[in-house]
Amino acid sequence: MQRRAFIQKSSLAATALLTVPHFPYKQGPLYSTEELMGKADLELFGKGINLRKEAHDAFVAMHKGAEAEGFNIKMVSSYRSYARQKAIWERKYVKYTDQDNMEPLDAMAKIIEYSTIPGTSRHHWGTDIDIIDANAKVSGDVLVPSKFEEGGPFEGLKQWLDKCANDYGFYLVYTDSYFRKGFKYEPWHYSYAPTAKPMLKQYRKLNILKTLSEADILGAQHYTRAFLLDYIHNNILDINPELL
């Protein structure tokens, strides 16, 4: 039964509520809108891991598996709150529009090559991770695709992840598929599918377009409907099909 139908029916027969112990949800755990947008006070697990419980446990197992092969998986980024994503977004927005004199929409198009609009990051969910190999000798920025390719410092870990990450429930989100749009290839970003899939399913039911256009974020007043629709279609939904 749909929730609205349930409530209507219940209000007609209010006493029936007393005999119904729970709302009749059958599709597994529910995630609040705040939780899906990084605004909830999420319980996080593991020092330097910061993931929700089941993703934490899977990560610890994967770390152990990789360690046996000589890799030391290091978390570069895991849970990120709405406030943190807002700070990242606004820092880039100010830089591109003030220093580089870009038009608002051009600046935002540049930001969303790699960064998300606050409220839409998979890092809000406590299921997604950016990882590297701490055993590798590396200098400069670490989250660079070439460092995961042949001859790069993380080539070994990348090959191991290609072979084994799925066994632990982790899947690459932004693959190097030629046909994929949205965020660029991120060989470091993995998602814990058993939790992230139902979360995305529920996220899709939110009125994302409305929520984003009303957000108190620098640049939001310049969003166009087309920009947001493209973003939802390409950046949020054009991901590894294993995660849909």
Strands (E), 125-212: 128-133, 170-172, 189-192
Closer residue to Zn ion, CB minimum distance, 158 or 189: 189
- Interface with Zn ion (CB under 5 A): 130, 189
CB distance 102 to 96 below 8 Å:
yes
Closer residue to Zn ion, CB minimum distance, 97 or 127: 127
Strands (E), 134-202: 170-172, 189-192
Compute the least distance from the CB of residue 123 to Zn ion, in Å: 6
Compute the least distance from the CB of residue 170 to Zn ion, in Å: 12
Q: How far apart are CA 111 and CA 116, in angstroms?
A: 8
Compute the least distance from the CB of residue 214 to Zn ion, in Å: 26
Closer residue to Zn ion, CB minimum distance, 89 or 104: 89
Could you tell me which residues come within 8 angstroms of residue 207 by beta carbon, excluding any fewer than 6 positions away?
A: none
Closer residue to Zn ion, CB minimum distance, 97 or 189: 189
Compute the least distance from the CB of residue 113 to Zn ion, in Å: 13
Residue 113 tokens, joined: 């090559």
Instruction: Say whether 207 sits in a helix, a strand or coil.
Output: coil
Closer residue to Zn ion, CB minimum distance, 71 or 183: 183
Could you tell me which residues come within 8 angstroms of residue 60 by beta carbon, excluding any fewer than 6 positions away?
A: 46, 49
Compute the least distance from the CB of residue 114 to Zn ion, in Å: 9
Task: Tell me the residue nearest to Zn ion as measured from the CB.
Answer: 189
Please provide the distance, in angstroms rounded to a whole number, between the alpha carbons at the two ends of the chain: 24
Q: How far apart are CA 31 and CA 202, in angstroms?
A: 7
Compute the least distance from the CB of residue 48 to Zn ion, in Å: 16
Could you tell me which residues come within 8 angstroms of residue 24 by beta carbon, excluding any fewer than 6 positions away?
A: 1, 6
Closer residue to Zn ion, CB minimum distance, 9 or 184: 184
